[in-house]
Chain A
Amino acid sequence: MADDDSLAPPEAIEIVDEAERTDEWTDEMPGVDRVISVALTTEQPRTADWIAERAAVSPTTARSHLERLVDLHILSAVEQRGAKTYYPDAAYQRFKEVSQLIEEHTRSEIETMTVTAKEDIEELGETYGVESADELRKLATADDTSSREAREYFKKASEWDSHSHMVSIAEEALERYEKFSDHYRPSVDSAV
């Protein structure tokens, strides 16, 4: 078979009729999970209507799920230009990530992850001659930067953010390990 015979034809790639889009994820994921998935991945606080459309639920259903998620501190809500908007609750997200790290990794693994993330940050800094992800994003928007270069800088800044985030979560996890071990370790005095 010639190579090209096993490729998909152009008409299979282009979706001309939007009606062809399937809403099949509604079969696989319950509405509340779809609302969580959309609400936890937004780039800025969003209204219930905005989230409802992307989660394939009615605005009323979205609002009711979102309010429940605010009650559970999974989301926070803020008024923006007269509309109520929702975004991931920082304290909850952080607590969850630190807890997950402790549950899934030993102390020495977390230490290694911290070191690796710091090395990755150093290497990015050296490669691009900058000291922070924000500085890299500034380079991206500089006048003499091509759109292709800008995309590369934004991408690397995003990777940088992930490494920084890992360092900050890991350091908190290590602190928590510290506290737990202090708490559970019998003191020398009490052992006498």
Chain B
Amino acid sequence: MSLGDLLADGGSDPIGVSGRRGRIFEQLRINLNHHPATETVVVRPTRDQRDRKLVAHFDTQILVDGLVDADEARLEINWWTHPVGIDDQFKFHYLESSGYDCGWHRQPHPAESDIPFDHFQQRASPESDYHYQGVDFLEDAPVGLLWEVTRTRLPRIVRARYDPNTDV
């Protein structure tokens, strides 16, 4: 077994690194199930039906001290593995039944070239336009990023939107 094989990203390579995307999905699912506000985690097809994503439904009474003023809240996650040396792409996208949605993404915007690959986007309702802002992620491992988003970044957003006394 050569090291070249070990470092391969895709295909049916002999040591099975090709299953990395599946392992990331599995570990994200396991970690999401440990989040105190998680009710269910399911795998769903993406909009084009050609891929899949993880969807975690949260109990809004528990999520960020019950501050969310919406009946339903969910987090949708996708992750695309890339060859060694090139950052993976991912999306952590939060949606509320209030109509608000926001996401922490590492991927290019399909049309706007001045939006950084690592960005946050939010909109008040599906009818509104997205507002974008670049972000610097603190973690690099998939599960580290999951906890960064769910325990550090999302609570800051929720507090800023729902708790007028918050100090961010």
Which residues of the other chain, B, contact A43 by a CB distance below 8 angstroms? 9, 17, 20, 81, 84, 88
Bound Cα distance from A29 to B98, whole angstroms: 31
Which residues of the other chain, B, contact A132 by a CB distance below 8 angstroms? 11
Q: List CB contacts (< 8 Å) of A89-127 with chain B.
A: 90-91, 93-94, 97, 120, 123
Asked whether A10 is an interface residue with its Cβ less than 8 Å from the other chain, the reply is: yes
Cβ-defined contact, A168 with B12, below 8 A: yes
Q: How large is the interface on A (under 10, 10 to 19, 20 to 34, 35 or more residues)?
A: 35 or more
Asked whether A69 is an interface residue with its Cβ less than 8 Å from the other chain, the reply is: no
Cβ-defined contact, A148 with B11, below 8 A: no
A80-B3, A155-B80 known; A165-B22 Cβ under 8 A: yes
Q: How many A-B residue pairs have CB under 8 A?
A: 190
Bound Cα distance from A132 to B120, whole angstroms: 33
With both chains docked as a complex, state the minimum distance between the C-beta of B137 and any C-beta of chain A, in angstroms.
9
Q: List CB contacts (< 8 Å) of A1-25 with chain B.
A: 3-15, 18, 20-22, 24-25
Q: List CB contacts (< 8 Å) of A129-164 with chain B.
A: 132-134, 137, 147-148, 151-152, 154-155, 157-162, 164
Bound Cα distance from A42 to B81, whole angstroms: 10
Asked whether B62 is an interface residue with its Cβ less than 8 Å from the other chain, the reply is: no
Closest partner residue, chain B, to A78 (CB atom): B6
| Interface residue from A11, A44, A147 paired with B108 (Cβ < 8 Å) | A147
Cβ-defined contact, A160 with B10, below 8 A: yes
Which residues of the other chain, B, contact A10 by a CB distance below 8 angstroms? 133
A54-B141, A90-B14, A154-B89 known; A25-B151 Cβ under 8 A: yes
20 contacts between A and B (CB under 8 A): A3-B125, A5-B124, A7-B100, A12-B157, A12-B168, A13-B135, A13-B153, A15-B135, A25-B34, A25-B147, A33-B34, A40-B26, A41-B143, A42-B141, A54-B141, A88-B20, A137-B10, A158-B88, A159-B51, A161-B9
Cβ-defined contact, B15 with A87, below 8 A: yes
Closest partner residue, chain B, to A154 (CB atom): B82
Closest partner residue, chain A, to B13 (CB atom): A90
Asked whether B24 is an interface residue with its Cβ less than 8 Å from the other chain, the reply is: yes
| Interface residue from B3, B10, B36 paired with A157 (Cβ < 8 Å) | B10
Cβ-defined contact, B152 with A15, below 8 A: yes
Q: Mark A21-54, 1 if CB is under 8 A from B, else 0.
A: 1101100110001101110111111000000001
With both chains docked as a complex, state the minimum distance between the C-beta of B151 and any C-beta of chain A, in angstroms.
4
Among B6, B7, B10, B125, chain A packs the most CB atoms within 10 A around the CB of B10
Cβ-defined contact, B124 with A6, below 8 A: yes
Cβ-defined contact, B16 with A88, below 8 A: yes
With both chains docked as a complex, state the minimum distance between the C-beta of B134 and any C-beta of chain A, in angstroms.
9
With both chains docked as a complex, state the minimum distance between the C-beta of A11 and any C-beta of chain B, in angstroms.
5
With both chains docked as a complex, state the minimum distance between the C-beta of B50 and any C-beta of chain A, in angstroms.
6
Closest partner residue, chain A, to B138 (CB atom): A21
Cβ-defined contact, B151 with A24, below 8 A: yes
Among A22, A76, A123, chain B packs the most CB atoms within 10 A around the CB of A22
With both chains docked as a complex, state the minimum distance between the C-beta of A69 and any C-beta of chain B, in angstroms.
14
Known: A13-B133, A169-B19. 8 other contacts (CB 8 A): A24-B151, A28-B35, A38-B143, A88-B17, A90-B15, A93-B19, A159-B80, A168-B12
